[in-house]
Structure 1
Amino acid sequence: MPAKVWLLIIGMALNVTGSSFLWPINTIFMHEHLGKSLTIAGIVLLLNSGAGIIGNLTGGLLFDKLGGYRTIMLGVSISFTTSFLLIWFHDFWSYSILLVFMGFGMGIVFPSMYALAGTMWKEGGRKAFNRIYIAQNVGVALGAALGGLAASYSFTLSFISCSALSLLFFMIVLFGFKGIEENESGSVQTVFSQKKRIHNKQAFFALLILCGGYLLAWIGYVQWQSTIASYTQDLGVTLKMYSLLWTVNGLFIVLGQPLINVFLKKWLHSTTSQILVGYVIFIISFVIVGNAKDFSGFMIAMIVLTIGEMLVWPGVPSIAAELAPQGRAGFYQGIVNSTATGGRMLGPLFGGMIADLFNISILFQTIIGLMVLAFMLTIVYIRNRQSIRKTNPSQSAAV
C-alpha cells in the first residue's frame, strides 16, 4: 500500500475522531442543556445532514475541477473554523448555525478522501476503500469514548477537543497532502452529474425497492444517535457510559469482521439472505432496547444492533454494484448513498416528533414496524429479480 494512502487513512481517522466528539452529544446538549424539545433537536440534525448532502455534491464537483488537495483544504478549513467558534458560541441559534456549516464542511471532505484513495491505489481495488472505512470506525470508537468522557466534565471541553483534532487534521492536509497526485477526472460521481438515460429500467426499479427498505432501516438506526441518546439520560445512564456504547460499536466492527466473514461463508451465502437476517437482528435489538432499564440492557442491544449493521450496510451497496449496467456504477452507488443520507436526515426529526407527541415506547414499536416493512420490501426485491431471471435468464439476478 502506498505511503500516501496511509496518510489518507490517518487523516480520515483524525477527522472522524474529531467529529465523533460531538455527534453522540448533539441531541443531549440541545435537549438537556439548552432545553429544546426532541423535535427541535431533530430539525437541527436534519439541517446538519442536509448540509452534508450539499457538501458531498460540492466536494465531488470541486474534486474534478480543483483536485483533491484544494478541495479537502476548503472542507477542513470550514470544519475547523466552525468547531473553533463552537468553543465560544454555543447558545441554541449559534450552535444550530455552526452545526449546519460543520456538516457542509465535513461533506466536502469525504468524497475527496475516497476518490483520492481510489486514484492513488488503483491496483488495491476495494482494499483502498475498506481501509478508509475501517479508519472511520476507529475514529468513531475513539471519538465516542473520549467525547463522552470530556462531556461528562464539560461540554466546552468536548468543543475544545473537537477543534484541536480539526486543527491537527488541517495541519496534516496542509503539509502532508500537498503534491498528492489526483489526475483522474470523473472519479467522483453523484446522482445529479449523470446525463445518460436509464435503459435497464427493471434493474433500476429493483434497486429502488431495495433502497426503500434501506431508507427505513437508517431511519431506525439513527435513533441511537438522537432520541435513544436522550432516553439513556432519563434512565440515569451517564455520558461516559453512553459513549462507551459507541466505542463498543466501532471496535466490534473493526475486530469482529473476521468472525462475521467466517459466519457468512458457512451459513449465509447470498447477499440478500445477509440483509434479511440483518433486518431480523435489527428488530431484536429494538425489542431489547425497548425493555432496557439500565446500562447493561443498552449494551446488549448495541451489540445486537452492531451485528445487524455489519450484515446490512455493506450488503446494499454490493447489490447495487451487481445491478449496475456498464458505466453506471457511480450512478447506482449515488442512489444508495443518497438513501442512507436521507435516512440520517429524516430519522432524528421523525423520532423526535413521535417521542414528543406520544412516548418513547410508541417510538420503539414504530421503529420495529419500519424494520418489518424493510424486511418485506427486500422479499419483494428478491421475488422481482427471480421473476426477471425466469423471463430473461441472461440478466443478472443479483440475489
Structure 2
Amino acid sequence: MSVTSNDLGRHTRTLPAWQVVILLLLIVGFIVNSIMLDNINSNRVEHIRATDDIQIKAQQLAQHAILAAAGDQASFDDLKIKRDSIATKINSLNDGDKDKRYPRVPVAANDSINTLNTSWFTIQSNVDKILDKQVLIQDMNAIYNKFASEIPLLQSKNNEVVNQLVVIKGDRELIKLAGEQQVLADRMLRRMGEVLKGGMAAVQASEDLASDTRRFSRVLNGMFNGDDTIKAVTDDTVLESLGQVYNIFSSLQGDIEEVMNAQELYEAQVATEDIGNDIPTFINKANDLSEVLKGIIPKFPSVEVQYALGGLSLLWLIVILFSMTKNDRKRAKVAQELNERNQLAILRLLDEMGSLADGDLTVNATVSEDITGAIAD
C-alpha cells in the first residue's frame, strides 16, 4: 500500500492531546499543592510567633503583678496592657486572626491549646483580682508612706523622753522601757512593710505588728498612769514629751488598724503569689504548644507531594519530548519515502511521454495512483 500525504499528517501528529492534558493536570496539581503548602507554613509561622509572644509577655506580666501589688501606679496600667495582649493572642490561636488572616491552630493541636486556655484562665482571674483592688492597694501604700515618714518623728520624741529621764536621774526601769520603745517603733515599721508585701511571711508579720503595737501602747500608758509593773512618770518636762509621743502614736495606731483590717488586701497578695507560681507552668505550656505546631506535618498538601508532582511533571515532560522526537523521526522517514515514490512516478511518466514524443504511438501512457499522488503533492 502506498503512502500518501494524508497518511503523513494522520500518523505523525507531533503531540497527542491526551499527553498535553496529563502534563497540565500535573502542573496544576503542583501549583495548587505549592499554594496550599505555603499557606500552611505561613499560618504555622504566625501561630508559633503568637506562642513566643505569649511567653515573653507572661514573664513581663509576672513582674508587673508584683510591682502593682506593691502600689506602683504605672505597673497597674502595664499589667492591664499585658493581660489584654496575652488574651488577644490566645483568642487568635483559638479562633484565628481576621486582621492577619490566619485561622485557628490545627485540630492536631487541640489538646495543647486547651491546656493553655485552662492555665491562662486561672492567671487571668488572679490578674483581675489585683486590678479590682487597685484603689485599696494604693491607699494602703499611701498609709505605709505616711507611717514611714512619722516613725522617725515618733522615735525622735521618744528619744527626748529617754534623755530627759537620764538628766533627772529617773527610774532605771523607766529609762530601759523608754529605750525599748525605740526598738519597737523600728520593728513596727518593718512589720508593716512585710504585711503589705504579702507572701507567707505576711501572716506572721501581721501577728508581730499587732503584738509590738500592743506592747508600745501598754508601756506608753504605763508611763503616764502607772500599773503593776511600770512606775508612772511624774516630771512635767518628761510628761510633756510623752504627750507628744502619745499624739503621734495615736495617729499611727489608726494606720496600723486600717492595714490589719484590710482583708481584701490579703486576696490581692495571694493572687500575686499565685501568679508568680503559675506563670512558669503557663510559659511551659505555651512552649509545648509551639513544639506541637512545629511537629504537625499534613499528608496533603506536603513537601512529599510537592516533590512527587514535580518529579512526575518532569518525567512526563521527558516522555512528551521523547514522543515528539520519535514522531519527528517517523515524519522524516515517511516524508523521505513519499519523495522517493513521487520521484519514481514522475520519472516513469516522463519516460512514457518521451516515447510518445519519439513517435512511438504503440506506447500507452499510464496514469497510475502514484502519478496522480505525485501531481497532487
Q: Under a length normalisation based on structure 1, what TM-score does the superposition of the two structures give?
A: 0.21
TM-score by length of 2: 0.22
- Structure 1 or 2, whichever has the larger Rg, is 2
